[in-house]
Amino acid sequence: MSSKEGSGGFRKRKHDNFPHGQRKDEKNNVNSSSSLMVSFKSFQLELDTRHDKYERLVKLSRDITIESKRTIFLLHRITSDPNGEEILNESEAKLEAVRQKIKQVAQELIGEDMYQFHRAISPGLQEYVEAVSFQYFIKTRSLISVKEINKQLIFTMEDKEEETNMPSSNPHDKQLYTWSLKVTPVDYLLGVADLTGELMRMCINSVGNGDIDTPFELSQFLRQIYDGFSYIGNTGPYEVSKKLYTLKQSLAKVENACYTLKVRGSEIPKHMLADVFSTKAEMIDREDGLS
């Protein structure tokens, strides 16, 4: 063992050779009012403030993710519930509550560079895109654009303080405060890629309820999405290229369901179709795992 190492085999630090009292005296002799210490204290305050804001955004993102998932679960009931309009209205109320959470995120990011906090809010935004695009597809059988999503994320509020200070002021002169949060193209693409998994589940649920038209409609729609992602390929962000494999799996399951309906649809009772598709979907998963 080297003479510079202690009994535990670790190298001693240089200041370990100094008495404890001497180190304490040196610490007390630091001039806390010096310009250097003032600068470091301001840096500490700035970093603590930024860290606290980051944690608040992570919590808001988690709430957005949870509420968006609940909206997706609710929308899946539309395949078996005859009151489809009622479910859509309830889902709209849930999405509006999610948008209020996103409004809090927008308020937190006033005067900040959003991309410095993007990792904190990205999971929630992706889940929101998935939920709102799923609802939009059920309503219109088309894909919502990122421009339309961002249009829904513009929030305004009247300045009530001016009204209380000046009771005789003209109500038309109230100042409006505006907040907005833009979903990035990457978050939009990742949310749409996750949407394909929900559409695959919608296909299986529809067949289980005797609806043999929806799977063919979903198959065509998923094929268009897959073709669009194929144009991006490996040139896009890494997260998008990873989602492409899952998207391909979802498309294969839906196309397999359509093939079975076309070839053997008249042979298999409607109440057994969902079980047949579930079994074949598991076989596809195993084959993909071996390849």
List, as residue ranges, the binding site for Mg(2+).
Answer: 130, 198
Q: How many Cβ atoms sit within 10 Å of the Cβ of residue 84?
A: 14
Closest to 50 in 3D by CA, of 147, 121, 116, 134: 116
Closest to 254 in 3D by CA, of 197, 285, 212, 215: 215
What does the block give as tokens for 271? 């109440």
* Largest separation between any pair of C-alpha atoms in the chain: 91
User: DSSP alpha helices (H): ranges in the chain?
Assistant: 20-28, 35-76, 84-108, 118-140, 146-151, 160-165, 185-208, 214-232, 238-264, 270-290
Which residue has tokens 């919608």?
Answer: 202
Q: 179 pairs with which residues across the strands?
A: 155
The dihedral built from the CA positions of residue 13, 15, 20 and 23, taken in this order, carries a sign that is negative
